[in-house]
Amino acid sequence: MTLFDLRGKVAIITGSTKGIGRAIAEQMALHGARVVVSSRKADKCDQVSREINELVEGQAGEAVAIAANISHKEDLENLVAKTREAYGQIDILVCNAAANPYYGSMLGINDEQFDKIMDNNIKSNHWLSAMVIPEMQARKDGVIIIISSIGGVVGHTTLGSYGLSKAADMALARNIGAEFGVDNIRANAIAPGLIKTDFAKALWDNPEYLKKATANCPLNRIGEPNEIAGATVFLASPAGAFMNGQTLIIDGGRTMSN
């Protein structure tokens, strides 16, 4: 067994049919975990799980598909129940799925848009965590990872409500780690900078914004999904066994630069 060995572990990863979520599912499977690929569209979940199984063929890891809309509590309850049917337990929860239906001044966001951001980015993570914590308590073992954003640690003129939700996600990880650390449940958040995903395409595909984003980054580039996925493997594996209640900022150094 190596420090990054996930063999025998079962991981649910929300929003895992593309971008950061897919990279996480692939890397966890490559490190031996049995992963649950989940997003709203069942056909995409099936496709990605097949492709992951082809990727890890002959190795310990594998994937199954269970579709779920994170805004529907009954979908998340079904996700947890179906995972237990397939694999018996849940060792790792990665809350990656999120929404951001608004870009602009805080004065322009409507209530529906605000509620969608808070429901999808905070409430759903709270729901899912509460669903899996009891079995982790019973086993005295479990890992919860919440994908946040540097929007939760810096001010923003056009992504303010999204940043509010991501700051709350950091607090949620801290609170879970504080309350349930005694049960050997570790909860941490990851705050990526700008990553080359479809979710953030409106930002990195804008030459003016991209220039501004990379100008303050010592590495002079934006990130790739696997650069976030590697951190989740660390946090979920024995290598991260003493990490609890923290937020890992992975942004190429942007937030520490002038």
The whole-angstrom separation of Cα 120 and Cα 97 is: 8
What is the Cα–Cα distance from 144 to 160, expressed in whole angstroms? Answer: 25
- Whether 102 sits among the annotated catalytic residues: the reply is no
HEC assignment per residue over the chain: CCCCCCCCCEEEEECCCCHHHHHHHHHHHHCCCEEEEECCCHHHHHHHHHHHHHHCCCCCCEEEECCCCCCCHHHHHHHHHHHHHHHCCCCEEEECCCCCCCCCCCCCCCHHHHHHHHHHHHHHHHHHHHHHHHHHHHHCCEEEEEECCHHHCCCCCCCHHHHHHHHHHHHHHHHHHHHHHHHCEEEEEEEECCECCCCCHHHHCCHHHHHHHHHCCCCCCCECHHHHHHHHHHHHCHHHCCCCCCEEEECCCHHHCC
Q: How far apart are CA 111 and CA 174, in angstroms?
A: 28
Which of 87, 102, 103, 162 is an active site residue? 162
Residues taking part in catalysis: 162
